[in-house]
Chains A and B, each alone.
Chain A
Amino acid sequence: QSVLTQPPSVSAAPGQKVTISCSGSSSNIGNNYVSWYQQLPGTAPKLLIYDNNKRPSRIPDRFSGSKSGTSATLGITGLQTGDEADYYCGTWDGSLGAVVFGGGTKLTVL
Chain B
Amino acid sequence: QITLKESGPTLVKPTQTLTLTCTFSGFSLSTGGVGVGWIRQPPGKALEWLALLFWNDDRRYSLSLKSRVTITKDTSKNQVVLTMTNMDPVDTATYYCAHSSGYYQYYFDYWGQGTLVTVSS
Contacts and interface: CB of A to CB of B under 8 A. Distances in A.
Interface of A: 2, 32-33, 35, 37, 43-47, 50-51, 56, 88, 90-92, 96-104
Contact of B47 (A47, A51, A104): A104
B49 interface: yes
Nearest to B52: A99
B63 interface: yes
Contact of B48 (A45, A47, A51, A101): A101
B112 A91 contact: no
B113 A99 contact: no
Contacts of B55: none
Contacts of A43: 113
Contacts of A46: 111
A56 B96 contact: no
A6 to B, nearest CB: 9
A98 B64 CA distance: 10
Interface residues of B, number: 23
A50 B105 contact: yes
B113 A44 contact: yes
A42 to B, nearest CB: 10
Q: Which of A43, A44, A46 has the most CB of B within 10 A?
A: A44
Contacts of B105: 33, 50-51
B112 A44 contact: yes
For the complex of A and B, list the 9 residue pairs with the smallest distance between their C-beta atoms, beginning with the closest: A35-B107, A99-B49, A92-B106, A44-B111, A101-B47, A50-B107, A104-B46, A47-B109, A103-B46
Interface in B45-98: 46-49, 52, 60-63, 96
